[in-house]
């Protein structure tokens, strides 16, 4: 399952009429001449009948908590993303058509928006912009003579309404629910891709200061989302705006007001004011908007924390696979072979790097003939359980049908000959302090090919037993 689907808008037809445009959005955001709105082509574009060649329309998959309860998969059921536009001012805006027909996330509904709610979204979004409240925008609204049936008060008295489309804009349409869903479903790689995409496209500064480390960037991203959301809330409160349905699928990750549904601007001052008739418990009333945000943000953090746990579990599995690979194996059922060897190595104080490397270069079926240069393995071999391990190891290799040549080449690609031991660095440092940087440069060169035996390195005994004096080397935090 992916987080978005390529879709095609279903063009709206039948007596299309332009209800209104935001000249400001057309000019300042889309770099258009406002007269464009008078052309038939523009109306067709908003109707979903003109997909520019550079567009790949998408419907986004998201989930959300609705009135405190996990609603599972929702998604753009009637909104289609046309693409992004980077304007003259260097701002990135995403264009959506809301009401442009069915998508894979329509869940049995018709994919259409009606004139009533589209006008509300158009006027409110633009009004909020001029009030100085961070918001999505509506560039244009068209309507038609296509009938759709709605039951606006959910009272079993449906009415016929006119299908309409808004061309709406936001710096990003990602919502809290965009991240909640893949996390809930344990889709780690989707979550990673999504997080990375959102942070890189909308918060490049965070990405740069985290030096591309996703976990680090995610923490600052989480804080940023909270900061922007609470800032948005201050604006809402100061102008008396009550969103009406602060479910986590309706809360932007960029702190802009989205989803103009059953919102209302308070008339008489009433902290319990709630515009949404479905909200019988006043969960989203004026006074509670901050608690609603707390809940949605906590859900994001909870989900992200859950995501970290999933990543952690995956890392543990990856580590097992990495160790199996160090022995030329790949099937998890053979992990006890790894464990057995590690135990032997620990008890015999075997050199971690050299033992694995020796094992990758010696023919294990003629291990008795191993030369002295395989000192690490020979030392490990003295352990009383080594023969038992070797037998188990050979059985595992046989079961995985790994022949000796393949085993050796696989192992040699993952078991280094050389790592930077402290004594090596210390010798180079001592020389450097005398003004001779040769050794530093040499080590740097050798360590560029850690998986290859190198004559120079062997001469310097970089693959040999660590000199005793290394044990006395003290390395502190300031090192
Ligand atoms: N007529 C419809 N056809 C298909 N899906 C719909 C329709 N109405 C609502 N949905 C979907 O139901 C969910 C909840 O609807 P809601 O009214 O909160 O969102 P919306 O106003 O459609 O979208 P947005 O949040 O993007 O403004 C969303 O996933 C929405 O896409």
Confidence (pLDDT) at 2: 61
> From the candidates 76, 147, 249, 363, which is the catalytic residue?
249
Q: Mapping DSSP to helix (H, G, I), strand (E, B) and coil, where does residue 161 land?
A: strand
Of 401, 415, 320, 321, the closest CA to residue 362 belongs to 415
Confidence (pLDDT) at 1: 45
Please choose from 4, 76, 77 the residue to mutate so as to test ligand 1's pocket, defined by most ligand atoms within 8 A of CB: 77
d(CA 60, ligand 1 centre) in Å: 12
Q: With beta carbons less than 8 A apart as the criterion, state whether 164 and 115 touch.
A: yes
- Per-residue pLDDT tens over the stretch 425-464: 888 888 888 988 888 889 888 988 889 999 999 999 998 8
Ligand 1 atom nearest residue 110's Cα: 3
d(CA 95, ligand 1 centre) in Å: 17
How much is the average pLDDT of 189-210?
Answer: 93
Q: What is the dihedral of CA 125, 129, 132, 134, to 10 degrees?
A: 60
d(CA 427, ligand 1 centre) in Å: 67
How much is the average pLDDT of 279-307?
Answer: 86
The closest residue, in CA terms, to atom 20 on ligand 1 is 259
Confidence (pLDDT) at 451: 92
Highest mean pLDDT: which of 56-60, 183-187, 443-447? 56-60
Ligand 1 atom nearest residue 259's Cα: 27
Whether residue 175 has its Cβ less than 6 Å from ligand 1: no
Across the chain, what does the average pLDDT equal? 91
Whether residue 79 has its Cβ less than 6 Å from ligand 1: yes
Residue 24: pLDDT band (50, 70, 90) is very high
**Which region among 129-133, 229-233, 349-353, 421-425 has the lowest average model confidence (pLDDT)?**
421-425
Please confirm, yes or no, whether 318 is among the known catalytic residues: no
DSSP notation for 31-55: ---GGGGGSHHHHHHHTT----TT-
**C-alpha–C-alpha distance, residues 400 and 406, integer Å:** 11
- Per-residue pLDDT tens over the stretch 399-422: 999 999 999 999 999 999 998 888
Confidence (pLDDT) at 48: 96
How much is the average pLDDT of 190-200?
Answer: 92
**C-alpha–C-alpha distance, residues 163 and 142, integer Å:** 9
Count of C-beta atoms within a 10 Å radius of residue 428? 20
Confidence (pLDDT) at 473: 66
**C-alpha–C-alpha distance, residues 421 and 188, integer Å:** 35
- The answer to whether residue 288 scores a pLDDT higher than 50 is yes
Of 244, 240, 312, 311, the closest CA to residue 280 belongs to 244
Whether residue 261 has its Cβ less than 6 Å from ligand 1: yes
Residues whose CB falls within 8 Å of the CB of residue 163, separated by 6 or more in sequence, listed in order? 12, 99, 112, 113, 114, 115, 143, 144, 146, 147, 148
Distances (CA, A) of 156 to 150, 219, 276: 10, 47, 17
Residue 152: pLDDT band (50, 70, 90) is confident
How much is the average pLDDT of 47-76?
Answer: 94
Of 85, 105, 108, the closest CA to residue 32 belongs to 85
Residue 312: pLDDT band (50, 70, 90) is low
Ligand 1 atom nearest residue 121's Cα: 27
Whether residue 110 has its Cβ less than 6 Å from ligand 1: yes
Please choose from 64, 78, 124 the residue to mutate so as to test ligand 1's pocket, defined by most ligand atoms within 8 A of CB: 78
Ligand 1 atom nearest residue 260's Cα: 27
Identify the burial level of 212 via C-beta atoms within 10 angstroms of its C-beta, where 0-12 means exposed, 13-18 middle and 19 or more buried: exposed
d(CA 20, ligand 1 centre) in Å: 22
Highest mean pLDDT: which of 315-324, 379-388, 443-452? 379-388
Distance of CA 59 to the CA centre of its chain: 18
Residues whose CB falls within 8 Å of the CB of residue 322, separated by 6 or more in sequence, listed in order? 414
For residue 414, give both structure tokens.
Answer: 């993952």
Confidence (pLDDT) at 87: 97
Confidence (pLDDT) at 311: 63
The model's pTM: 0.72
Whether residue 109 has its Cβ less than 6 Å from ligand 1: yes
What ipTM was assigned to the predicted interfaces of this complex? 0.97
220 or 255, higher pLDDT: 255
Of all residues in the chain, the percent with pLDDT exceeding 90 is 67
C-alpha torsion sign, points 210, 216, 221, 224: negative
- Per-residue pLDDT tens over the stretch 329-371: 999 999 999 999 999 999 998 998 999 999 999 999 999 999 9
For residue 116, give both structure tokens.
Answer: 């009533």
d(CA 207, ligand 1 centre) in Å: 31
For residue 66, give both structure tokens.
Answer: 């609705």
């Amino acid at each position: 399952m992916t987080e978005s689907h390529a879709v095609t808008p279903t063009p709206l037809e039948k007596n299309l009429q332009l209800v209104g445009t935001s000249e400001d959005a057309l000019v300042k955001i889309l770099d258009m001449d406002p007269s464009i709105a008078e052309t038939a082509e523009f109306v067709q574009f908003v109707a979903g009948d003109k997909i520019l060649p550079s567009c790949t329309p998408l419907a986004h998959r998201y989930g959300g908590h609705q009135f405190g309860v996990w609603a599972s998969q929702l998604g753009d059921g009637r909104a289609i993303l046309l693409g992004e536009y980077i304007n003259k001012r260097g701002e990135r805006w995403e264009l959506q058509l809301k009401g442009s027909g069915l998508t894979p996330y329509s869940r049995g509904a018709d994919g259409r928006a009606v004139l009533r709610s589209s006008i509300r979204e158009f006027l409110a979004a633009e009004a909020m912009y001029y009030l100085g409240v961070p918001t999505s925008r509506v560039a244009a609204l068209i309507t038609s003579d296509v009938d759709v049936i709605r039951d606006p008060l959910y009272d079993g008295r449906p009415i016929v309404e006119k299908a309409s489309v808004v061309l709406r804009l936001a710096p990003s349409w990602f919502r809290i629910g965009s991240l909640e869903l893949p996390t809930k479903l344990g889709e780690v790689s989707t979550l990673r891709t999504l997080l990375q995409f959102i942070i890189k496209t909308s918060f490049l500064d965070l990405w740069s200061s985290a030096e591309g480390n996703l976990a680090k960037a995610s923490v600052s991203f989480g804080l940023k989302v909270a900061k922007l959301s609470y800032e948005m809330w201050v604006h809402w409160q100061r102008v008396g705006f009550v969103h009406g349905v602060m479910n986590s699928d309706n809360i932007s990750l960029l702190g802009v007001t989205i989803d103009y549904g059953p919102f209302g601007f308070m008339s008489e001052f009433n902290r319990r004011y709630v515009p949404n008739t479905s909200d019988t418990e006043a969960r989203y009333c004026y006074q509670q908007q901050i608690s609603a945000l707390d809940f949605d943000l906590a859900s994001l953090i909870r989900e992200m924390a859950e995501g970290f746990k999933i990543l952690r579990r995956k890392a543990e599995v990856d580590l097992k696979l990495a160790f199996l690979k160090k022995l030329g194996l790949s099937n998890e059922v053979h992990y006890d072979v790894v464990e057995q060897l590690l135990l032997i190595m620990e008890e015999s104080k075997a050199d971690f790097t050299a033992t694995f490397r020796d094992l990758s270069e010696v023919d294990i079926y003629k291990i008795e003939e191993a030369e002295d240069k395989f000192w690490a393995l020979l030392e490990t071999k003295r352990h009383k359980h080594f023969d038992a391990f070797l037998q188990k190891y050979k059985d595992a290799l046989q079961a995985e049908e790994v022949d000796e040549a393949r085993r050796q080449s696989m192992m040699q690609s993952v078991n280094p000959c050389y790592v930077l031991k402290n004594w090596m660095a210390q010798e180079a440092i001592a020389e450097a302090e005398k003004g001779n940087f040769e050794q530093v440069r040499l080590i740097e060169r050798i360590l560029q090919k850690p998986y290859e035996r190198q004559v120079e390195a062997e001469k310097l005994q970089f693959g040999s037993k660590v000199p005793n004096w290394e044990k006395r080397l003290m390395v502190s935090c300031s090192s």
